Amino acid sequence: MNCQDFEITIIEIARDRLMDAVARERGLEHVQKCASCAMLLVEERALSRDLRALSAGAAAEEIPARLETTLLTAFRQRAVVPTAAPAAAGTRRWLLVAAALALLTFGLSLAGLSLARWIAPSPERESSGASPANGGTALIPTGLSASSGKSGQEQPRAVAVRRPARPILKQQKSAPQVARLWRRFSEERRQKRLALASAKRRSASDDAPREFVTQFFPVMQGGELIPLEGGQIVRVKMPRSNLIPLGIPFNQERANETIQADVLVSNDGLARAIRLIY
Partner 1 sequence: MNAFETCSNETLLRLMMAGDEEAFTRLYRRLRGVVYRFARQMSGSSSVAEDVTQEVFLILLRKAELYDPGRGSLSTYLVQIARNEILRRLSRDRAYVSLAADAREGDVPPDENLDENLIVRSSPLGNLVRNEEIESVRQAVLALPLHYREVVVLCELEEISYAEAATLLGCAVGTVRSRLHRARALLKQRLRNGEATEQDGLQVNRASCLG
Rule CB under 8 A: which residues touch partner 1? 3-4, 6-7, 11, 15, 34-37, 39-40, 43-44, 47-48, 50-64, 67-68, 70-72, 74-76, 78, 80-90, 92
Burial of 231 (0-12, 13-18, 19+ CB in 10 A): middle
232 CB-near residues (< 8 Å, 6+ apart): 264, 265
Measured distance CA(223)–CA(245) in Å, rounded: 12
Phi then psi dihedrals of residue 263, to 5 deg:
-105, 125
Q: Report the nearest approach of partner 1 to the CB of residue 90 (Å).
A: 6
Q: Report the nearest approach of partner 1 to the CB of residue 56 (Å).
A: 3
**Treating both helix axes as pointing N-terminal to C-terminal, what angle do 35-60 and 21-33 enclose, rounded to 10 degrees?**
130
Nearer to partner 1, 86 or 230 (CB): 86
Q: Are strands 231-239 and 137-141 parallel, antiparallel or unpaired?
A: unpaired
Q: Report the nearest approach of partner 1 to the CB of residue 9 (Å).
A: 11
Residues 112 and 169 sit within 8 Å (Cβ to Cβ): yes
Structure letter (DSSP) for residue 100: H
Please name the amino acid found at residue 92: R
Q: Report the nearest approach of partner 1 to the CB of residue 99 (Å).
A: 17
Burial of 185 (0-12, 13-18, 19+ CB in 10 A): middle
2 CB-near residues (< 8 Å, 6+ apart): 30
Q: Report the nearest approach of partner 1 to the CB of residue 187 (Å).
A: 48
Does an H or E element contain 187, and which? helix 175-207
Nearer to partner 1, 35 or 144 (CB): 35
Residues 159 and 139 sit within 8 Å (Cβ to Cβ): yes
Q: Report the nearest approach of partner 1 to the CB of residue 100 (Å).
A: 19
Nearer to partner 1, 39 or 244 (CB): 39
Nearer to partner 1, 59 or 165 (CB): 59
